Amino acid sequence: MPNSTFALAASALALVLLSFFVGVRLLYCRVREMRGKRIHPQAAANSLQVAARLVDVQAADNFRNLFEVPVLFYALVAAALGSGHVPAWLVAGCWGFVGLRVAHSVIHCTYNNVFHRLAAFLAGFGLIVVLWVAFVLSLQAKSAA
């Protein structure tokens, strides 16, 4: 397996691990608040009930975010691995995307400054769009050669 293939797969694993850690934080925050407010788990069985009873929802919001735009990242990684076209710039860009998602999650799950979080989101979203366009163009160029 070429180094770039491993590095690209590792970037996907890093994002999966970020999702796992945010999920653990979500569980910790939710259990702590529900115990503190003595809320029975059945009283928060759906998102409407959770919104009505719980205040600490940053980790839950971030966990949902990790299954929105990152889907484009996972699809790009799958397309690159499936096609066998894994240029070094793509690997670097994917790791950049992971770094921006980590920054977004840290901001969201801690001090939650909306402007800082928005900057990290827009940078990551812009990067993944550029990576997709560049990947398709480079794949086309490779197949034409």
Residue 42, domain CATH: 1.20.120.550
The total of structural domains in the chain comes to 1
Q: What is the pLDDT of residue 145?
A: 77
Q: What is the pLDDT of residue 88?
A: 97
Q: What is the pLDDT of residue 129?
A: 98
Q: What is the pLDDT of residue 126?
A: 98
Q: What is the pLDDT of residue 47?
A: 84
The tens place of each residue's pLDDT in the chain, 145 residues long, gives 679 999 999 999 999 999 999 999 999 999 999 999 999 999 989 988 988 899 999 999 999 999 999 999 999 999 999 999 999 999 999 999 999 999 999 999 999 999 999 999 999 999 999 999 999 999 999 888 7
Q: What is the pLDDT of residue 70?
A: 98
Burial 80-116 (b: 16+ CB within 10 A, else e): beeeeebbeebbebbebbbbbbbbbbbbbbeeeeeee
Rounded to two decimals, the pTM is: 0.92
| Residues near 25 by beta carbon (within 8 Å), at least 6 away in sequence | 59, 109
Can you give the residue range of the structural domain that contains 18?
3-144
